[in-house]
A = this chain, B = another copy of it.
């Protein structure tokens, strides 16, 4: 039997949620947390969609992949829906991550406040530079890249963050994979190749700005035409 990327499997459980939906579930979770803090206990798809910055129909379709957690004519129970989404995206447990590279970016990430409330725990910092190994950053001792395997298996870490220069990215990725890591978030401006079964997501700081620059250029160019 081949497993297809279909919304539902034959056992009836909602599975194979579309990528675009998965990427928005954390946003909904954040919006629901904000509503809880404001003391709101029930909300409509309109309200929640507004708080999340999406179209209400899209929100309802997204939620429909998880199950039927709303009540027609009423809306959604904030706490109940929050729990269901949290469970779906694995937010009922904490996820330990290892950061490779404690330069400016790696250090900033290790101190980032936003992780802990989202179920992310920075469990280890490693670097290849001997001058950094042994130093303390955000209360954690920096270990050697050579100890990666031991650290990953010891602490049961499955997610790694690459925060090195681009030139080191592939080598670091190889080491992460060898250490047993199966999900990588890559901040280095370089393409990394990994075997099947390992997920890589890439965040490229320059590219985001370059995209904005493209639109700026277009605005500047069309001003003459549009504001005629």
Q: Chain A: residues with CB nearer than 8 A to chain B? A: 3, 22-23, 25-27, 30, 51-53, 88-91, 95, 97, 104-105, 107-109, 111-115, 118-120, 158-159, 161, 165-166, 182-185, 189, 191, 197, 199, 201, 203-217, 219, 222, 226
> Is the Cβ of B51 less than 8 Å from the Cβ of A215?
no
> Is the Cβ of A114 less than 8 Å from the Cβ of B211?
no
The residue in chain B whose Cβ has the minimal distance to the Cβ of A226 is B3
The minimal Cβ–Cβ distance linking A56 to chain B, given in whole angstroms, is: 15
The answer to whether A211 and B95 touch (CB under 8 A), given A182-B219, A217-B89, is no
When all copies of this chain in the complex are counted, the total is: 2
> Is the Cβ of B205 less than 8 Å from the Cβ of A109?
yes
The minimal Cβ–Cβ distance linking A118 to chain B, given in whole angstroms, is: 4
A27 to B26, CA, bound (A): 27
> Is the Cβ of B185 less than 8 Å from the Cβ of A113?
no
The answer to whether A213 and B159 touch (CB under 8 A), given A182-B219, A191-B51, is yes
